[in-house]
Amino acid sequence: PSILLMAITMALGGCQGKKTEIAPTADKAEVDRAFPFVLPEEKPDRPLSAAMERIYTDYEATQPQHNELFSQFKYTELKGFDYNNGDGTISRRDPSKILLHNGTYYVWYTYRNTKVPPRGAAMSNDSIPSTDWDLSEIWYATSKDGFTWEEQGVAIKRPEKPLVGWRSVTTTDILEWKGKYYLYYQGFMEASGKRGDDCPVTVSYADSPDGPWTPYNKVVIPNGEAGSWDQYSIHDPYPLVHNGKIYVYYKSDFGEQPDKVRMQGLAIADDPLGPFEKHPLNPVITSGHETSLFPFRKGVAALVYKDGPEHNTIQYAEDWVNFEIASITELMPYAAAPYVPDAFTDTKDGRGITWGLAHFINQGGRGKIHSKLVRFDCDLSLDVDDPQMK
Ligand code: AAL
């Protein structure tokens, strides 16, 4: 009822300029008294407005309170990370999915610790970062409860020039496959802002989440051929296991700011080191920014936010390729990195998610740009009573 109430409150307040009398704590009876109208499940036999016609194309999607793939999101500040009083010299962003290993949660993320905050491409050099994710390494932290984290230090260093990632290694995600661990990440060969973002994906592997990590030192998911939708970049690699194979969803973007178009594609491999074959129907999601997906029932669900015509939606693809909008929501986590218990179990009955990490960007404002990791909680799980999901 509170979700319904918020939606109604916003719709009335926003569109009609009227203030609803209902207190945020109102119970269902109060809501029913104020809004006695109930949408009939059968389409009424009378002329309907365009909006009313539309509502009957997917009745369930209009009932957020009954929609398994609808949620709002709650945010909590994390304990354990130092940001140098927010002066912009330390940044943590783009976290990986959360991995549970021997009772401990692990997260990997882009870590920047530079003598000055980002100064833009023109002023950047070997020690001055251009953007928040320039001159970065991949670090990791562990936690027992998902709220208090202990930073463990570097997982992936920048390699020597000219190896892939020498300028910056960022935006990683984890795969567990046959007892080994793989971190996929963006390997920058030039400063971000100087077309360094036109980067491919590389990988490092280890026998334990604590490392040591061996860099593959080669591109594992290459940019597309000239003229293809993903010719400029492969970003935000996000591995899951499905049908005995490695499914890596990723983002690419084309065009120039402010008209950059961002979409998401899928690359599939039998081996974590490739070769990865890009799906012939790519791109499979037309919107969104960083990738955030999780197995759900037979299919896969995606949090799609920030960019594109279908931003602020949660989408679902039963065949893991053809996505449909399942719900429309708001205030979604950026760079959402959920705890996905069945990410690598090749499940045929995905159970969903209840929490994860995300980032808040541009903390500190102009001149002190940096990002912070935060926790989000949501209700996208079919097992809300399972203590594992808490
Ligand atoms: C993000 C990600 C990728 C981009 C940049 C750093 O949050 O989409 O990683 O390259 O911004």
Over residues 295-301, the mean pLDDT reads: 98
Token pair recorded at residue 177? 């496959």
Q: Which residues line ligand 1 (CB under 6 A)?
A: 94, 133, 170-171, 186, 197, 235-236, 251, 289-290, 335
- 3-class SS of residue 389: helix
User: How far, in Å, is the centroid of ligand 1 from the Cα of 294?
Assistant: 20
Over residues 288-306, the mean pLDDT reads: 97
Q: Is the pLDDT of residue 111 over 50?
A: yes
CA distance 239 to 245: 10
User: How far, in Å, is the centroid of ligand 1 from the Cα of 171?
Assistant: 6
Token pair recorded at residue 49? 């407005």
Predicted TM-score (pTM) of the model is: 0.88
Listed in sequence order, the DSSP H helices in the chain are 2-16, 28-34, 50-55
Which ligand 1 atom minimizes the distance to the CA of 197? 10
Token pair recorded at residue 53? 């016609």
User: How far, in Å, is the centroid of ligand 1 from the Cα of 235?
Assistant: 7
Closest C-alpha residue for ligand 1 atom 9: 171
The mean-pLDDT minimum among 4-8, 50-54, 122-126, 221-225 falls in 4-8
Instruction: Tell me the torsion sign for CA atoms 148, 356, 363, 186.
Output: positive
Q: pLDDT digit string (tens) for 220-238?
A: 999 999 999 999 999 999 9
Where do we find the tokens 């260093």? 157
Those residues whose C-beta lies under 8 Å from the C-beta of residue 4, and which sit 6 or more positions away, are 31, 64, 65
